[in-house]
Amino acid sequence: MVKRKRPGKKKRSTVRERDWEQNWKAAFSHDLSRHRRALAKLPEHSAYAGALPGEFVPNATVVSHSRKWAFVETDSGWSESGGGTADTTMCLIDERLREGEESLLAPGDRVLVEVAEGKPTVRAVAPRLTRLARCAGKHDRLKQQVIAANVDILVIVAAAACPPFRPGLVDRFLITAQQGGVTPLLCLNKIDLVEHEPPEMEFYRELDLDICIASCETGEGIEVLRQKLAGKTSVLAGHSGVGKSSLLNRLDPNLRVVTRELSETTKRGRHTTTTSVLYELQEGIRIIDTPGIRALEVWNVSPEEVAFYFPEIAACGMRCKFRNCTHIHETECAVKQAVADGEVSKPRYESYKRLRTGMELEGGRT
């Protein structure tokens, strides 16, 4: 009997990379330990660092990426590597590029691509103008995981039903948008499944927030959405199964992005999209599809600051008896009174309360 030898370490990694080239859509991973391992192997010589361009003019945009490779769309539209689809170029990422506090690359990043030894290589990344980022877990090395870069609009996609509408997630995304410098747009999808929209929508209508009611089933609202997104770069975000990828397919039927029905047993999305990818549609619509968010952490907000992301609560809070009122534990509180009077919406206040107490628990404070 011939005993098959496991390939050596080196062999195994080349196998994986080749595999990735063929299956780049499915093989992507946000695996930070792999990033870390790769970084640990880098030479520490400063001579290497000097070889990277200091000042540069970006000439390409990242469409999607893995640890070692990036698919980019070049400004001039050249594609000489042979890899990638018709209008994307597969590039190596220069190993000397270092991650700071944020992810090194994200779809939407502007980069400098140069051809080195016949291979297109990402040699530099331009500073991000805006971002959609989430706070990494406690044990992750990166502080901010950037999901999309240089976007104008964050399309917060929620379903009217299946999965149920969750105002808490919408509130969190509104904060994330403010922090990343991105304009939010609330898209309530699957309106065909309900007779009346969720009652909480009333409160979002009172905010200074762009809203689009849509259905991928009937096509309702798709034209409105198309007009709002024309000429802009946007990113779709929301729970798994709310219909982010379906919206893309509705906006441009040629895309054929993979979508899947909800799980029969859990009635939740199946995390169908696993990689953030930038798509270019007609009418100058550039849009990044993202995987469904499981838990979106608010980045770098202290419990005291939460109220400032709820403008109506902050305004009432000015009338509170105590300057440092939490609007939760105090008996005499203008915000609580306003909620009782219907001046501040109850779901918004509940969402404020959830965010604030959640953060205080995380920070070990009570």
Q: Which stretch binds ligand GTP (CB under 6 A): 42-50, 223-231, 235-243, 313-321?
A: 235-243
User: How near is the Cβ of 38 to Zn ion at its closest, in Å?
Assistant: 49
Q: Tokens 């107490």 appear where?
A: 357
DSSP code, position 102:
B
How far is it, in rounded angstroms, from Cα 87 to Cα 79?
7
Q: Which stretch binds ligand GTP (CB under 6 A): 108-116, 221-229, 266-274, 321-329?
A: 266-274
Q: Which stretch binds Mg ion (CB under 5 A): 10-18, 168-176, 244-252, 326-334?
A: 244-252
Cross-strand bridge partners of residue 155: 185, 236
Element (H, E) at 246: helix 244-251
Binds ligand GTP by CB under 6 A, chosen from 108, 198, 243, 317: 243
User: How near is the Cβ of 224 to ligand GTP at its closest, in Å?
Assistant: 14
User: How near is the Cβ of 253 to ligand GTP at its closest, in Å?
Assistant: 14
How far is it, in rounded angstroms, from Cα 9 to Cα 5?
12
**DSSP string spanning 297-331?**
PPPS--GGGGGGGSHHHHHHHTT-SSTT--SSS-S
Nearer to Mg ion, 64 or 273 (CB): 273
Binds ligand GTP by CB under 6 A, chosen from 74, 79, 246, 276: 246
How far is it, in rounded angstroms, from Cα 64 to Cα 148?
10
Is residue 190 part of the contact set for ligand GTP (CB under 6 A)? yes
Q: Which does 242 bind (CB under 5 to 8 A by kind): Zn ion, Mg ion, ligand GTP, none?
A: ligand GTP
Binding residues for Mg ion restricted to 251-310, rule: CB under 5 A = 272-273
Nearer to ligand GTP, 160 or 174 (CB): 160
Is residue 245 part of the contact set for Mg ion (CB under 5 A)? yes
Report the amino acid identity of residue 189.
N
Cβ-contact 174, 155 below 8 angstroms: no
How far is it, in rounded angstroms, from Cα 41 to Cα 51?
18
Q: Which does 243 bind (CB under 5 to 8 A by kind): Mg ion, Zn ion, ligand GTP, none?
A: ligand GTP
Residues in contact with Zn ion by CB under 5 A are 320, 325, 327, 333, 335
Alpha helix stretches (DSSP H) within 183-289 = 201-206, 222-229, 244-251
